[in-house]
Amino acid sequence: MCGIVGYAGTSSRVVDHDALDVLIEGLRRLEYRGYDSAGVAVVADGAIHSRKKAGKLANLENEIAEAPLPKSMTGIGHTRWATHGGPSDGNAHPHLADGGKLAMIHNGIIENFAGIKAELVAEGATFLSETDTEVAAALLGKLYTTEAAGDLTLAMQLAVARLEGAFTLLAVHEDHPGVVVAARRNSPLVLGLGDGENFLGSDVSGFIDFTRRAVELGQDQIVTITPDTHTITDFQGNPAEGKEFTVDWDAASAEKGGFASFMEKEIYDQPAAVADTLLGRSDANGRLTLDELRISPEELAKISKIVVLACGTSAYAGSVAKYAIESWCRIPVEVELSHEFRYREPIVDENTLIVSISQSGETMDTLMAVRYAKEQGAKTLSICNTNGSTIPRESDAALYTHAGPEIAVASTKAFLAQITATYLLGLYLAQLRGNLFQGQIKDILADLGKIPAKIQDILDRGEEIKSVARKMAQVPSVLFLGRHVGYPVAMEGALKLKEIAYIHAEGFAAGELKHGPIALIEQDQPVFVVVPSPRGRDSLHSKVVSNIQEVRARGANTLVIAESGDEDVRAYAEFVFYVPETPTLLMPLLTTVPLQLFACELASAKGYDVDQPRNLAKSVTVE
């Protein structure tokens, strides 16, 4: 969702930073979140100076080049993803109030903005945009002059008491050079600590070029930063504290590293992402030691049902987890789309474990579903890639993946890291419950330890599937089939193609083919088939081979992902890509990769920006 940066610095530093440079660089780091306009406001020469422009950040930079801003030590910057009001110069942030003396930026949705706007209009206020943000700015400006006696922090406390919804608000005022005030409710915000300068960001990417010291901000908190201080309170003004942490990756980790896109780089990062997620999780005897979990082993051993909550790609990771956890632990697992879960009165209790999966840890649908589950008494565990984010903080336990920053909107390495984390959770539960012998767990962990090298083998042969993708750049539709753990892989393969190539793509359970989807097959229709291993599941393998024959007989072009050594599929496929042998339940960590490569190359061949696909944001922080 929207990218937010705030900065308060001083020219007394040995190396002083112009606020504008900090803001632009921070917004550039946050471009991966998705946006349709950008803007900045700085405090200089006793006034607010603002520039904003629809489109990419380059448009804003061109605007500033034509109408330069004065040097400043204080400012706020924003990349907007349109909610209230379409993408336009007028709807872009910042929005001004108090006669142009105050500037505000905002991430989220103010649900009661219409009533507040009507009240302000009745008092004589006029509005230049269609946004809820301008309403919040006007309210803050009014309270600043009428009730807060010129205290910007107090005015923010009074304003948020009136607002409903999900929001992060940042404001500056010309009366207070060197001060940025921010408020956070149900929307991400992190504080960055520097030497003679302090920062605010939607996530740490917004200030990683300048500091690795960061502070988690809690729900319903207000923070006021100056170059040398930061003060945190709750919405009522009572003193509060955040949790300081150190960012363990640097700016170079967010660069493309010679690849044509972040997405391509992140696909090639996957051996390290899986390896790092496995690192340090077990002892020399193969016993899992998940030190991040804050639920006691005794409580976990009593769990009678698991519900996985997630959206999009993360939901497909949960679907893979269902097969593994039920097999290893004999616990029933349900996979729920977060945005549907709490609206159907789900049955959960104190013996239910809610496992939420979110790369950002800020997915609003998932956050609200977790809160609902906690209210029903369920235990909650978060699988997340972002330290300090909201969902793991509000969950009873957290299991962090260690994929590093994922910049491209379409998830790749986070997906494999999420699957890896769910495997660790399943094995840990099996260890606690005694469902598997310790030797079995050790063997599975050993197989997991071989996965990074096997992924690398696939990547080293990636040109095989990339060349196919380039030849298929003009196809209007691609279908994907899979069985067992291959079914969620098929759905994820289709989603990737939809997200970045903008063509019709669907993933089906192969057994459903004769129940309707086979009607879609026509001459030259491309169909990817994820084939299960012929080892140990002969009947399932033979059924999928039959599915290949069925669609091919009706004119389909069949593209097969199969295990090395599986010669039975060659006779029925136009193209076969082999992945290394691995146990069936672990196979999604391999079979997903060629589908990622295919989607990335096909979209690139069509000339699309694979890192920032249209209409999509990296983190969906509104419902």
The answer to whether residue 623 sits within a structural domain is: no
Domain stop point among 439, 455, 471: 455
Domain stop point among 230, 247, 264: 247
3-state secondary structure 192-226: EECCCEEEEECCHHHCCCCCCEEEECCCCEEEEEC
Number of domains in the chain: 3
Domain stop point among 185, 213, 247: 247
618 catalytic per annotation: yes
Q: Cα–Cα distance between 613 and 542 in angstroms, integer?
A: 38
19-40 burial code (b ≥16 CB/10 A, e <16): bbebbbbbbbbbbbbbbbbbbb
469 and 569 co-located in one domain: yes
Of residues 300 and 127, more confidence is placed in 127
- Whole-number pLDDT of residue 162: 97
The answer to whether residue 565 sits within a structural domain is: yes
pLDDT tens for 175-185 read 999 999 999 99
Tally of CB atoms within 10 A around 267: 25
Range scoring the smallest mean pLDDT among 21-25, 287-291, 537-541: 537-541
Of residues 565 and 538, more confidence is placed in 565
| Residue 317 reports pLDDT greater than 90 | yes
Range scoring the smallest mean pLDDT among 72-81, 221-230, 518-527, 587-596: 518-527
- Whole-number pLDDT of residue 14: 58
Q: Using a pLDDT cut of 70, give the percent of the chain over it.
A: 96
> Exactly one of 2, 311, 384, 600 is catalytic; which is it?
2
- Whole-number pLDDT of residue 426: 96
pLDDT tens for 89-103 read 999 999 999 999 999
465 and 435 co-located in one domain: no
122 and 210 co-located in one domain: yes
- Whole-number pLDDT of residue 621: 59
- Give which of 47, 51, 88, 90 is closest to 69, Cα–Cα: 51
Mean pLDDT of 132-143: 97
Of residues 176 and 519, more confidence is placed in 176
The answer to whether residue 621 sits within a structural domain is: no
Phi and psi (nearest 5°) for 67? -135, 80
Domain encompassing residue 209: 3-247
The answer to whether residue 137 sits within a structural domain is: yes
| Residue 291 reports pLDDT greater than 70 | no
Count Cα atoms within 13 angstroms, Cβ side, for 145: 11
87 and 153 co-located in one domain: yes
- Spatial contact of 472 and 601, defined as CB atoms under 8 Å apart: no
CATH of residue 417's domain is: 3.40.50.10490
124 and 182 co-located in one domain: yes
| Residue 537 reports pLDDT greater than 60 | no
The answer to whether residue 442 sits within a structural domain is: yes
| Residue 463 reports pLDDT greater than 90 | yes
Range scoring the smallest mean pLDDT among 123-137, 250-264, 302-316: 250-264
- Spatial contact of 121 and 79, defined as CB atoms under 8 Å apart: no
496 and 585 co-located in one domain: yes
482 and 604 co-located in one domain: yes
The three-state secondary structure class of 357 is strand
Of residues 164 and 293, more confidence is placed in 164
482 and 423 co-located in one domain: no
Q: Cα–Cα distance between 77 and 440 in angstroms, integer?
A: 53
- Whole-number pLDDT of residue 623: 61
Q: What is the mean pLDDT of the chain?
A: 92
| Residue 250 reports pLDDT greater than 80 | no
Mean pLDDT of 306-319: 96
pLDDT tens for 377-431 read 999 999 998 877 889 989 999 999 988 888 899 999 999 999 999 999 999 999 9
- Whole-number pLDDT of residue 619: 66
pLDDT tens for 25-71 read 999 988 876 788 999 999 999 999 999 999 999 999 999 999 999 99
295 and 179 co-located in one domain: no
- Whole-number pLDDT of residue 31: 83
The answer to whether residue 622 sits within a structural domain is: no
- Spatial contact of 259 and 610, defined as CB atoms under 8 Å apart: no
41 and 86 co-located in one domain: yes
The answer to whether residue 541 sits within a structural domain is: yes
Of residues 334 and 362, more confidence is placed in 334
> Exactly one of 52, 117, 379, 618 is catalytic; which is it?
618
157 and 69 co-located in one domain: yes
398 and 531 co-located in one domain: no
CATH of residue 187's domain is: 3.60.20.10
**What pLDDT band is residue 283 in, cutting at 50, 70 and 90?**
confident
- Give which of 185, 136, 181 is closest to 162, Cα–Cα: 136
